Structure formats: structure tokens, C-alpha cells
């Protein structure tokens, strides 16, 4: 981050903001509602601003499986949001974002969509009903005469209001306890091939990772590691490193040399590169004992292979023969692939 973080919690921020409609879905709701100071739950999975931007907060970790797009899809579907105006935000570490299946904020077991399928759809559905109520009150009509589509509330007369224009009125309403959810046949976002929301920032470099975090007075540490595993620092010449502005300390560690300095990562790396240090090998690396261990490992693998093959101590199958055997392997089963190859046995 380029600016220091404010010392405030998400709950304090969203509850104190008057320029946004904030809808939270509490897990568990009873305990959270008891301490709430407004009609909205404090977990803040959804935020709608006056410019009709919709931000969905994802409590699960993105590990390539696509939750930073799937979770917003759950909310946006029931909200009838304009997908082009939907963005996602990674949630902080907070029990409010606990995985309903685990009871803690954890990601795994292909559980994110399954666990949040109903809760987060209810978040979107509740917000949509509140926006309809707000529009109906402004038009002085019945909510039954209104419908939502693509980020707007429409009246049967043809009038329409963008979600952003309804933020002030909707923020004064109480979320419905049991909002009506859509039937799958009415889905226009879920089940559709949409572009991932997290791809553009990862491509253009604007995405923020843990390594990008910056706090006031934070020190950056870098390591000058030993060139081979098991080696230890034998000598350290840290004079040039300490001459660089901001270097606080140079520490000799069991497997290398570490530095702490105030400033950016580039300066830390520059100081590390200027530092002279030597290393000595450990007692096993490069020794006869280590070579013996490696031979022993190969021997174990060969013996295991011989037991599987039943007729050879080493079996080097010809790659071309194996490729030609693949169609048959698909028909007869992968277990037969070993016997189909024309190997050289020694």
C-alpha cells in the first residue's frame, strides 16, 4: 500500500459511514445482532455507494479456484445488480466472515460456494427488497408495482431509479429476515460464463498482496541465504550494508544472514547484495555419508519397482511404445499400462 492504514475496524468504518448503504449478513447472527448499534448487521458483505457501485466482500481466500468472482456472483444475482458495476474486496481476518461449514474463517474442501450459496444469496435478495421499498416510498406506490433489473428499480408506469439514488432511503430500513430467493430458471448471472473480477488487477499490477502491506514504522527484513542446503555462515562483512541509509541491524542466523532496515524492499535488497559473506558446508553435504544415503534411496526405489514389475531390477520403458499403447490403456485400464510398454530389462 502507498498510504498508512487507519487504525479502525471495518465494523466501525461501515457503521459510521453515511454515504453508503451497507448490508451485513451475520454468522452467527444472534450474537452479532445483540451488539449492533444500527438496523444493519455489522459483517458488511455488501456495500452500495451513491454512484451505484456494488462492492462484495469475500471472506474466503482466493487460491486460483475463483472465489473472488463466485462470491460476488451469488450476491449480484439476487440483487439484480449491473455486473459491469460489481467489484470485489478481500475481507480482513474477522470471525464475522467465518465459513458456515467450518465455523471459522477458513477456505478448503471445495466448500466456499456450497457454504455461502444460501446465506450470500439472501444478502443480495434482502438488499434488493430494501431498495424496492425505498423506491416505492419515494414514488408513493406499492412495492408490488415495482421490479428490479440491472441495477435499477422500475415502476410499472415506466419510471426508474438507479440503486445509488436510493442509498439514503434504503439505509434507514430494516433488512427482511427471510427475503424471497429466485428460482434457478430466473438466474441471469449464476451459471453463466463471466470474466473473472480478479484477473485485470493481477495483470495490470494493481492487485495488493500480503507482501505489499505497509504500516507506519514498519521494518523490512531480507535474507542472504547460504548457497547450498545445510551450509552455515562462516564470515560476515557487513560494513557496506550498514553504510546504506536505513539499515538498523545485521543478524547472523544458523542458515544465513538477515538484515532489518527501515524503508522499502529495494533498499533492503541493495544492502544485502553489498554485504560480503562466506559459508561453510554442513557435515553431511558433499560427504561420503550423503552419497551413501542417495544411493540407498535409489536402491529402495529400484527394489520397489522390481516388486511391482516382478521380473527386472530396472525397467526403462520406451516412450514411443508407451504413447502408442495409450489408446489401449484407456480401454483396458491404467493398471495395464506397465505391461504394455516394450521395456529394456536389466
Q: Is the pLDDT of residue 215 over 90?
A: no
Asked if residue 210 belongs to a domain, the reply is no
Q: How confident is the model at residue 10 (pLDDT cuts 50, 70, 90)?
A: very low
- Compute the distance between CA of residue 241 and CA of residue 105 in angstroms, rounded to an integer: 41
Are 189 and 222 contained in the same domain? no
- Nearest CA among 134, 124, 128, 135 for reference residue 149: 128
pLDDT reported for residue 327: 52
Tell me: pLDDT of 294 over 60: no
For residue 60, with 0-12 CB atoms within 10 Å meaning exposed, 13-18 middle and 19 or more buried, which class applies? buried
- Give yes or no for a contact between 257 and 250, defined as CB atoms under 8 angstroms apart: yes
Q: Say if residue 62 is in the same domain as residue 16.
A: yes
DSSP one-letter code for 238: -
69 and 118 both lie in a single domain? yes
Select from 166, 181, 204 the last residue of a domain: 204
Q: What is the mean pLDDT of residues 101-117?
A: 92
Residue 114 domain flag? yes
Question: How confident is the model over 143-151, as a mean pLDDT?
Answer: 96
User: How far apart, in whole angstroms, are the C-alpha atoms of residue 298 and residue 60?
Assistant: 42
Are 84 and 175 in the same domain? yes
Give the global pTM.
0.60
pLDDT reading at 147 higher than 90:
yes
CATH code of residue 235: 3.90.1170.50
Same domain, 179 and 41: yes
Mean pLDDT score, 325-330: 48
* Residues 28 and 169 reside in one and the same domain: yes
pLDDT at 93: 87
Average pLDDT over residues 258-283: 57
- Answer whether 80's CB lies under 8 Å from 149's CB: yes
Does one domain contain both 83 and 26?
A: yes
Q: Are residues 136 and 231 in the same domain?
A: no
Question: Residue 47 pairs with which residues in a beta bridge?
Answer: 22, 55
State whether 113 and 65 are in the same domain. Answer: yes
Q: How many domains does the chain have?
A: 3
Torsion of CA 203, 208, 212, 217, to 10 degrees: 150
Would you say residue 24 lies in a domain? yes
Q: Which domain holds residue 293?
A: 288-345
pLDDT per residue as tens digits for the range 225-268 = 766 776 776 677 777 777 777 777 777 776 655 555 545 566 66
Q: Supply the pLDDT for residue 220.
A: 79
Is 190 a domain residue? yes
Q: Is residue 4 part of a domain?
A: no
Question: Per-residue pLDDT for 185 more than 90?
Answer: yes
Same domain membership, residue 296 and residue 254: no
Whether 27 has a pLDDT exceeding 60, the answer reads: no
Query: pLDDT class for 111, splitting at 50, 70, 90?
Result: very high
Choosing from 256, 280, 304, the residue where a domain stops is 280
Domain finish residue from 156, 178, 204: 204
Average pLDDT, the chain: 73
Q: What is the pLDDT of residue 289?
A: 56
Selection from 73-77, 281-285, 312-316 with the highest mean pLDDT: 73-77
Answer yes or no: is 89 within a domain. Answer: yes
Determine, yes or no, domain membership for 30: yes
Q: Are residues 116 and 181 in the same domain?
A: yes
How confident is residue 142, by pLDDT bands cut at 50, 70 and 90?
very high
In the predicted model, is pLDDT for residue 145 greater than 90?
yes
Residue 291: per-residue pLDDT:
60
Q: Are 42 and 82 in a shared domain?
A: yes
Amino acid at each position: 500500500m502507498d498510504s498508512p492504514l487507519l487504525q479502525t475496524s471495518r465494523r466501525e468504518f461501515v457503521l459510521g459511514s453515511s454515504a453508503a448503504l451497507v448490508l451485513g449478513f451475520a454468522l452467527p447472527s444472534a450474537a452479532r445482532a445483540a451488539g449492533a448499534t444500527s438496523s444493519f448487521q455489522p459483517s458488511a458483505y455488501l456495500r452500495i455507494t451513491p454512484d451505484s457501485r456494488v462492492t462484495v466482500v469475500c471472506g474466503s481466500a482466493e487460491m486460483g479456484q475463483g472465489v473472488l468472482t463466485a462470491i460476488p456472483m451469488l450476491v449480484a444475482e439476487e440483487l439484480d445488480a449491473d455486473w459491469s458495476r460489481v467489484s470485489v474486496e478481500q475481507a480482513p481476518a474477522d470471525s464475522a466472515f467465518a465459513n458456515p461449514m467450518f465455523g471459522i474463517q477458513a477456505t478448503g474442501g471445495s466448500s466456499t460456494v456450497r457454504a455461502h450459496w444460501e446465506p450470500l444469496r439472501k444478502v443480495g435478495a434482502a438488499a434488493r427488497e430494501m431498495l424496492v421499498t425505498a423506491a416505492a416510498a419515494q414514488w408513493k406506490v406499492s412495492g408490488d408495482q415495482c421490479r428490479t433489473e440491472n441495477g435499477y428499480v422500475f415502476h410499472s408506469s415506466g419510471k426508474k431509479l438507479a440503486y445509488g439514488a436510493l442509498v439514503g432511503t434504503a439505509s434507514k430500513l430494516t433488512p427482511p429476515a427471510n427475503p424471497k430467493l429466485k428460482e434457478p430458471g430466473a438466474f441471469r448471472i449464476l451459471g453463466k460464463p463471466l470474466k473473472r473480477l480478479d484477473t485485470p488487477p493481477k495483470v495490470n499490477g494493481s492487485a495488493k498482496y500480503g507482501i505489499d502491506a505497509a504500516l507506519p514504522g514498519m521494518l523490512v527484513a531480507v535474507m542472504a541465504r547460504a548457497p547450498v542446503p545445510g551450509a552455515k555462515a562462516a564470515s560476515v562483512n557487513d560494513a557496506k550494508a550498514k553504510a546504506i541509509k536505513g539499515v538498523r541491524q545485521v543478524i547472523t542466523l544458523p542458515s544465513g544472514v538477515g538484515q532489518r532496515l527501515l524503508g522499502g524492499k529495494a533498499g533492503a535488497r541493495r544492502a544485502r547484495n553489498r554485504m560480503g559473506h562466506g559459508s561453510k558446508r554442513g557435515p553431511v553435504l558433499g560427504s561420503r555419508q550423503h552419497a551413501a544415503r542417495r544411493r540407498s534411496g535409489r536402491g529402495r526405489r529400484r527394489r520397489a519397482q522390481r516388486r511391482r514389475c516382478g521380473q527386472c531390477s530396472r525397467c526403462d520403458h520406451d516412450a514411443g511404445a508407451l504413447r502408442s499403447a495409450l489408446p489401449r490403456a484407456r480401454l483396458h485400464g491404467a493398471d495395464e499400462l506397465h505391461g504394455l510398454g516394450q521395456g529394456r530389462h536389466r
